[in-house]
Amino acid sequence: MLKRSENQLKKIDLANSLVSIYDAKPWVFAFSYKGINVVEMTKLRADIRKNNGLMMVIKNKVNTIALKRTGQFEEFAKILSGQVAIVTSSDPIAMAKILYSFDKQEKIKFLGYSNGSSLKERNELQRLALLPSAEVLRAQLLATISSPLTNLVRLLQAPSGGLVRVLDTYSKQDGVLKS
């Protein structure tokens, strides 16, 4: 029987934990953090945490095992080489905005992202980052839906409002209509 070392068992446990994290937050982003200083990394972590994301720096081999075990991110594992940090999130637009901002300032080098269906390369990050946030999209959708209803209410109120103005004008003129 194959006997595993304590270190190997810890790596297996870590890989199993990562699988559950990837299942809970289905959007996975990767970037190279080589060259970023401690202050910038702390700010990046805080921004990610503020938007309900999770940033992890884990050995690429362990991460590759976990990504392959999910059955969704096998292709994503191919971009893991060097000093790579992984960010998981359920809000891809917020994470893309944060990572795009740091990438644009050349503090990190964005490698790619995936939601399990396919690997999106660095050039796709800008497209995702420039989308409006979920709250803005909801507001736009609500405005689009409520606009025809608002116009209908105005249209229905217009004739009765006109009648009231005509009657008011008559009552002010010669006192034709008296209460």
DSSP label at 114? E
Average pLDDT over every residue of 95-108: 90
In the prediction, which pLDDT does 2 show? 63
Same domain, 11 and 38: yes
Same domain, 55 and 38: yes
178 has pLDDT over 60 = no
In the prediction, which pLDDT does 106 show? 86
Same domain, 19 and 107: yes
Residue 1 resides in a domain: no
11-40, pLDDT tens digit by residue? 888 888 888 888 788 888 999 998 889 999
The Cα-based distances of 118 to 13, 52, 85 in angstroms read 26, 23, 19
Same domain, 30 and 103: yes
| pTM of the model as a whole | 0.69
**Which pLDDT band holds residue 121 (cuts at 50, 70, 90)?**
confident
Same domain, 42 and 127: yes
> Structurally, how many domains does the chain consist of?
2
Same domain, 169 and 138: yes
Same domain, 37 and 113: yes
For the CA atoms of the chain, what is the radius of gyration? 28
Same domain, 107 and 146: no
Same domain, 53 and 119: yes
Residue 97 resides in a domain: yes
152 has pLDDT over 70 = no
The three state secondary structure string of 24-40 is HCCEEEEEECCCCCHHH
The parent domain of residue 173 ranges over 132-179
CATH number where 59 lies: 3.30.70.1730
Same domain, 73 and 88: yes
Same domain, 69 and 108: yes
